[in-house]
Amino acid sequence: MNTQLVDSIVQVFQALPQAEQKLLMERLNSLFTQPQSEDEEPISEAAWDVWRSLGDDAVEGKLENPSINHDRYLYSNPHE
């Protein structure tokens, strides 16, 4: 769980004026009370387990200085 994100959201919420806090609460609550559409299947627990495991067995790459060269590695044309 990303507690830092949750704490940040709470801080933003607390900084909002009362009217905006109420509006935000109403919109968030509506997300949880809306029924699923008939053609939408609920996500199985097995699917969540797979999602949570992504990266557990990742192989370390060979990207040198990834924070610096990230975009260059992703977007450079290897045929140039």
CA dihedral over 16, 35, 51, 46, signed as positive or negative: positive
CA dihedral over 67, 74, 51, 56, signed as positive or negative: negative
| pTM greater than 0.75 | no
To the nearest 10°, report the CA torsion of 73, 76, 79, 80.
-120
pLDDT mean over 61-76? 76
pLDDT tens digits, 22-66: 999 998 888 877 666 667 777 888 888 888 887 777 667 766 777
**pLDDT of the residue at 20:** 92
pLDDT mean over 3-24? 89
Give the DSSP H/E element, type plus range, for residue 67. helix 66-75
pLDDT mean over 55-78? 73
**Cβ pair 16, 24 in contact under 8 A:** yes
**pLDDT of the residue at 5:** 85
Half-sphere exposure of 61 (CA within 13 A, CB side): 7
